Amino acid sequence: MAERDQNETRQFPDVLTLIAGIGTLLVSAYVLTDGAFRIPNPTWLLAGGALLVGVLLLASSLRKR
């Protein structure tokens, strides 16, 4: 019974690790382009974040239970 309870708990991604991974990707893009990479306009970042959240919500709703 204990094994069943452990399998039913939902695991969510660690927010701190996600932020660290995104930061690492931005730093690596900056280094690989010799400093030519710039962070886009904040409105584009907001739109990209909203798009990502929407896709994740859609994917989670389509997942089998």
13-64 confidence digits (pLDDT tens):
778 887 888 888 888 888 888 877 777 788 887 888 888 888 888 888 877 6
Distance (Å, whole) CA 17 – CA 31: 21
User: Encoding tokens for residue 18?
Assistant: 């996600």
Number of separate domains in the chain: 1
- Model pTM? 0.44
Distances 1 to 4, 5, 10, 36, 54 between C-alpha atoms, Å = 5, 6, 17, 56, 36
pLDDT band at 10 (very low <50, low <70, confident <90, very high): low
Are 26 and 38 in contact by the 8 Å Cβ rule? The answer is no
Residue predicted with more confidence, 4 or 59: 59
Q: Which amino acid is at 47?
A: A
Give the C-alpha separation, 22 to 17, whole Å: 9
What is the domain range of residue 17?
A: 2-62
